[in-house]
Structure formats: structure tokens, C-alpha cells
Amino acid sequence: MIQLKTLLNCIDNSGAAIVECIKVLRMKRAAKIGDRIIVVVQKQRNFGPETGPGGQVSISAANKVRRGDIRHAVVVRTAKKLQRKDGSVVRFDDNACVLINKTGEPIGSRLNGVVGAELRDKQWSKILSLAPMHL
Amino acid sequence: MTTSRGSMRSLTSWKTVFRQYRIHKDQRRWQTTLDVSAVSKSAPLLDITPPPAPSVKTHRHIKAFPPRPSTWKRCKDPIAAVMASQMTLLDPTGARKRLFHRSNPESAKVGDILLVRQKNGEPFSGVCMNIRRRGVDTGILLRNQLTRVGVEMWYKIFSPNVSGIEVVQRKAKRARRAKLYYMRKPKHDMGSVENIVRVYSRQRAMLGTAGAKKDAQSYIRQKKKVQKKGKGKKN
């Protein structure tokens, strides 16, 4: 159940670590796996142990998004149970998303973490192919 | 001033007067034969409705239908019947039912590590946290960690999509709870069970072929015995 103000983990290497949902697109209900949302980057992922003045430059070079950026994203895991057509139910321990641009291409080039298999039905095959595992 | 009709009547036309009177007289006679009640209701004088039927009670035979056959008598518990029919359809051997039946001491219990093989998709293994016993709708809740993210799956054990359920490892001590939701807490989380399942599947692959051979041998032996018995009977 992803709705306004929900904090999600960002599992790609776009540079965002934690994002906040500000809008669920095209529906009046909470977002589920495979739904498109708009997020604000709340926390950046810092790569490497750099902490000096030179480190700041490298962080900005590695990160494609910055804190406060507004981006589109696709929900890939929800802590809310989601029932499948065959009667089985899947539930993850966290809420997670992948950042995309406006045309639907993922911003990051790698994903770390399992994603829901519902993405296949929702035509997010590019994200599925990047993911190490889908369930 | 208005004058009465009688005074205006001319004395010369007696004939017409008498004629009028005769008509009136006829009507009067008719009125006396009329039903009093009908007249009192200010009904038209020339009522053509038929007179009321004579009040002689005749026994008319009304066809009475027998009560509809009781569905309750035919099938006292239809839901149980449907469940049983579904069970025979989905679990003809009864092995799946036995695996989770309470009376079976060797049944799968909460805390055991189970492996669910599916017709479409990869097998899923995890710690059984809950067994929801509801006849054909019986389901199990498995928990595992994939890529360090906790994942829980509910499976219907009689689902046609589930091709097999195997007990990978039993819990050393019987769980003292029916539902092990405490395993979601980091303190009690078992983590990934992939290693245990991998060892199990490797062992099973080794034993599986040997077991199959043994089965085949025993089958042949049994067949021979039967043949011998047959021969003995003939002699």
C-alpha cells in the first residue's frame, strides 16, 4: 500500500537510497507492485568511503539523482500482501521501488534485490531483466 | 314569480295529463318490485346487473399440490459434499492431505522447512510459519530471505499449480506456538534457508536414483514371488 508520504527503498544504482511517494499515478487507490508513482529523493546513497572535500565531487558524479529531486518510479516490492491469480499470496518485508524517467526507462543500470513477478504483467520487462531475481 | 306546474296545466288537455299519469303509474309499480337495497344505494333504476347468486354452498374441489421435495433431506451438508468431491479431484491419492493432517505424527508442522514445487515457476522453500486448515482451501505460509529481503508466500496445498511439497528439515523441538509470526522479528529471523535446501536437494538427487533402483528391484522381486505363488497354486 504505497500512498502519499510513504517512504520506500530505492534498489537501483541511480544514487537514491530512500524516496518518498508524493503521487500515485492514474488511480485513486494505493499503489501495488508494478504501479507507477512520483517520488522525492529523501536520502542519497553514498558510494565509497570518501569523506574529504574531493569526495563530494565523486558522489555527485556517481549519483544521477540528488536529494530533493522529483522523479517517476515503479513499485517493485510491497509489505502489503498481494494475491496472485493462482491463489498464492506474496509479501515482502519492505517497500521498494526503481526510479524511471518519464518515458519509462530505468535511470539506474543495476538492481540489487528481488522484485515481484507482477512486473511482467504490467509490461516492465526492462526492470525485470535488470533484477537479479524475481518472485 | 314562479307558478306550480299544476296550475299552469291547461284544463283542456286532459288526455295528455292522463297519459303522463299512466306512464308514471307504470314506473311506480316497477319501483315496488325492485330490490330495496338497490334503490337505497341510489343506483340507476334500470339496473341490468344480474341478481345475486343463491347462497347454496357447493363444495368446489381446489387442486392441492404436494410440497416440493426437501433439498435438506436429499443432501444434509452440501458444502461438505462439494469439499469432498473437490478433494477427490485435487488430491486423489490423499498424500497431500496426510502430509498436513493432525492425526499423522509424521506430518509437516510449523517451524519445519518446506519446499513447494510448482508447475509454472521455480520452487519456493521457506520456514513454515502457519498452516491454515480449511479443507480444500488449506494453505501454508512460508518465509525465506531472497537477496537479504524477507519474503513470505502463502500457498494453497491442494492447488493444481502446486506439484509437490517436501519437508526439507524438521524443527528440532516442537514449536509451542501455532503461528510463528515472531520469526519476522530480526531477533528470531532464521535468515535464508537456501543452504539447507541446497544440501537437501543434492542428497535427494543422490538418494533419488538409488531409491528408484531399489524400488525397481523390489518390484521385480515381488513379481517373481507372485509368479511362484501362482505356480504353486496350479500344482
Residue B166: closest CA among B226, B213, B120, B126: B126
A68-109 pLDDT tens trace: 999 999 999 999 999 999 999 999 999 999 999 999 999 999
With 50 as the cut, is the pLDDT of residue B116 above it?
yes
- For A10, A17, A108, B100, B106, the CA distances from A99, given in Å and listed in that order, are 7, 11, 7, 43, 48
Which residues on adjacent β-strands are paired with residue A111? A12
What is the CA angle A104-A105-A111, rounded to 5? 120
Mark yes or no for CB contact B152/A91 under 8 Å: yes
Q: What range defines the domain where residue A29 resides? A: 7-134
What is the grid cell recorded at A72? 517517476
Q: How far apart are CA A42 and CA A8, in angstroms?
A: 10
Mark yes or no for CB contact A114/B146 under 8 Å: yes
Residues A27-53, mean pLDDT to the nearest whole number: 83
Q: Tell me, what's the pLDDT at B200?
A: 95
Mark yes or no for CB contact A114/B124 under 8 Å: no
B182-221 pLDDT tens trace: 999 999 999 999 999 999 999 999 987 654 444 444 444 5
Q: Is residue A2 part of a domain?
A: no
- Whose grid coordinates read 459434499? B81
Q: Is residue A77 part of a domain?
A: yes
Count CA within 13 A, CB hemisphere, residue A53. Answer: 0
Residue type at position A135: L
CB A3 within 8 A of CB A24: yes
Residue type at position B81: A
Mark yes or no for CB contact A135/B153 under 8 Å: yes
CB A55 within 8 A of CB A48: yes
CATH hierarchy code of domain B79-207: 2.30.30.790
Write out the residues of chain A at the interface with chain B, using a CB-CB cutoff of 8 A: 77, 81, 86-94, 96, 112-114, 117, 132-133, 135
Q: B219 to chain A, minimum CA–CA distance in Å?
A: 38
Q: How far apart are CA B83 and CA B100, in angstroms?
A: 17
Q: Tell me, what's the pLDDT at B121?
A: 87
In 10 A of CB B93, how many CB atoms?
7
Q: Tell me, what's the pLDDT at B92?
A: 94
Q: How many CB pairs under 8 A join A and B?
A: 51
Mark yes or no for CB contact B148/A93 under 8 Å: no
With 80 as the cut, is the pLDDT of residue A57 above it?
no
Q: Burial, B124: exposed, middle or buried (Cβ in 10 Å; 0-12, 13-18, 19+)?
A: buried
Question: What total number of domains does chain A contain?
Answer: 1
Name chain A contacts of B86, Cβ cutoff 8 Å.
none
Q: Burial, B69: exposed, middle or buried (Cβ in 10 Å; 0-12, 13-18, 19+)?
A: exposed
Q: Tell me, what's the pLDDT at A44?
A: 93
Q: Is residue A1 part of a domain?
A: no
Q: Within an 8 Å CB–CB cutoff, is residue B188 touching chain A?
A: no
| Nearest CB partner across the interface for B149, out of A81, A92, A117 | A92
| Nearest CB partner across the interface for B150, out of A81, A93, A133 | A93
- Whose grid coordinates read 501495488? A32
Mark yes or no for CB contact A81/B147 under 8 Å: no
Give which of B134, B147, B163, B181 to mutate to test A binding, by max A Cβ within 10 Å.
B147
Q: Tell me, what's the pLDDT at B148?
A: 93
A13: left (phi over 0), alpha (psi -120 to 50) or beta: alpha
Domain map of chain B by residue range? Answer: 79-207
Residue type at position B196: I
Q: Is residue A83 part of a domain?
A: yes
